[in-house]
Structure 1
Amino acid sequence: MLSFENVGLRYGVGPETLRDVSFSVAPRSFQFLTGPSGAGKTSLMRLIIMALKPTRGLISVFGRDTATLAKDEITEMRRQIGVVFQDFRLLDHLTVYENVALPLRVLGREEASYRAEVSELLKWVGLGERRHCAPSVLSGGEKQRASIARALISQPRLLLADEPTGNVDPTLARRILRLFVELHKSGTAVIIATHDLSLMDQYEEARRLVLADGRLHIFE
């Protein structure tokens, strides 16, 4: 599903942010990506969604070499990847419900076909009563939950979550983790970038990818 082979990434003329990174992610797998601040976790995720190009090495997503993809092919590939960003990236002119439903609208689905599933997911993440609100009136934790719901609604083949529990309380963090685990058991590969050791300890079956000094260490 996903593989990195001797990938390096450099910004400008400075030292490499990532050096000789090699790993693969299988379908239906679950992994935590961790490491100190500045280790390159977000950069690695941006490489996966093709928002960055590696300085060297090979990245393959869904069996395709990302270096060979045309712009429209990249767009199509990204539709199969759910992403939970640290900065939420909700659209202020849309309601919470409309933000979460947006990936399904982009796929061309009629609202009648997805209204119930969007509403159910919003209830599950505790936003059922906030569905008609604008993002501007939400708390940080509520924005985080809306971002998570939007990433999950299309049941992506691969889910990337960058610090998805950073703005929620421990009880909700456990619920969110359970949702990610259920998603992965239904067939989605999951990568969660986090500093939260207690979160990782709640799902010890997950593989741990640890970035340190630009290099990746894998603990099965």
Structure 2
Amino acid sequence: MSSFGGDGLIRLENVGLRYGMGPEVLRDLSFRIDRGTFQFLTGPSGAGKTSLMRLLFLSLKPTRGLMTVFGHDVTTLSRGTLPTLRRRIGVVFQDFRLLDHLTTYENVALPLRVMGKAEADYRTDVVELLGWVGLGDRLHVHPPVLSGGEKQRAAIARAVIGQPELLLADEPTGNVDPTLARRLLRLFQELHRLGTTVLVATHDIALMDQYDARRLVLNEGRMHIYD
């Protein structure tokens, strides 16, 4: 089947990516991520997982090939269109990207504020979600005070609070213990049940083995798919 059949929320056809004049870090990628699916992205360190996640979040454009996100050809997107599309995506990066001048609560609430929602309408949801990820007693502290694992959980809460159409999570369980890792995956599954398309990048084979989900396996910049 062509990667451009079906209800492809994201579609790539012969996509390649390189940085500057260096070698391609992603090569000849042709696949789709259908709306409403839950999938894992895996592969060895240096395989290109983070580069692919950045591509899907629209912080990079393909060097070659065709890629569409929400039906838009990303190579022809104007700079003004990008923020609108990114607001439809929740993302958890390995470097967390929390704002140090905002409290944990304010960081998590930020996507809702950007949407123009009133605090009275979302405060309870933010507090409940922070309790769910184990940060109920860290609402009013700033990121420099948080541990790496706490920052990670705050970044996850921020990514899911707005129930995005697409969630991209890059190693979201890398700094937490197995019990909390399963709890966070349950959070992603609940978001998926509510309609969000979810892609989780991880190297944790044992964690993936607990779930019946499609695996996209990157190795040396090339994609192998296991349904």
For the aligned pair, the TM-score class normalised by the smaller chain equals over 0.9
CA RMSD of superposed structures (Å): 0.8
Q: Which amino acid aligns with 1:172?
A: L
Displacement of 1:14 after TM fit? 2.5
For 1:91 and 1:10, how far apart are their aligned partners in 2?
Answer: 29
- Secondary structure of 1:76's aligned partner: helix
After superposition, where does 1:192-207 map in structure 2 within 5 Å? Answer: 192-203=200-211, 205-207=212-214
The secondary structure found in structure 2 opposite 1:89 is coil
Q: CA deviation at 1:98?
A: 0.1
Question: Is residue 59 from structure 1 mapped to residue 70 from structure 2 by the alignment?
Answer: no
Mapped to 2, the partners of 1:131 and 1:4 lie a distance apart of 40
Task: Provide the residue aligned with 1:103 in structure 2.
Answer: 111
Specify every segment of 5 or more residues in structure 1 that has no aligned partner in the other structure, as ranges.
none
Q: Give distance in 2, aligned partners of 1:34 and 1:145.
A: 21
SS of the aligned residue for 1:129 comes to coil
Alignment correspondent of 1:188: 196
Secondary structure class of the residue paired with 1:21: strand
Q: Give unmatched runs, 5+ long, in structure 2.
A: 1-8
Return the alpha-carbon distance in structure 1 between the equivalents of residues 16 and 132 of structure 2: 39
How big is each residue's C-alpha offset from its partner over 1:100-129, in whole Å with a ceiling of 9 and x where there is no partner?
Answer: 000000111111110011011011101111
Deviation above 3 Å: which 4+ runs of structure 1?
Answer: none
Return the alpha-carbon distance in structure 2 between the equivalents of residues 7 and 68 of structure 1: 15
Post-superposition shift, 1:182? 1.1
The CA distance in 2 between the partners of 1:181 and 1:142, in whole Å, is 21
Matched, 1:171 2:179: yes
Give 2:214's aligned amino acid. R
How far has the Cα of 1:28 moved from its partner? 1.1
Say whether 1:93 aligns with 2:101: yes
What is the DSSP-based 3-state SS (H/G/I as helix, E as strand, rest coil) of the residue aligned with 1:31?
strand
More helix by share: 1
| Structure-1 residue corresponding to 2:18 | 10
Alignment TM-score, normalising by the size of structure 2? 0.95
Give the AA of the match of 1:24: R
Aligned-pair distance for 1:88? 0.8
Q: Which of the numbers 200, 206, 215 marks the counterpart of 1:208?
A: 215
Equivalent in the alignment of 1:20: 28
1:120 partner letter: E
Q: Cα offset for 1:189?
A: 0.6
Aligned to 2:6: none
2: CA distance, partners of 1:181 / 1:216: 24
Q: How far did residue 13 of structure 1 move?
A: 2.4
Q: Identify the residue that residue 132 of structure 2 maps to in structure 1.
A: 124
Structure 2: distance between partners of 1:173 and 1:188: 19
- How many Å separate the matches in 1 of 2:224 and 2:52? 13
Letter in 1 for 2:134: G
CA distance in 2: counterparts of 1:64 and 1:181, whole angstroms: 27
Identity of aligned residues (%): 71
**Partner secondary structure for residue 216 of structure 2:** strand
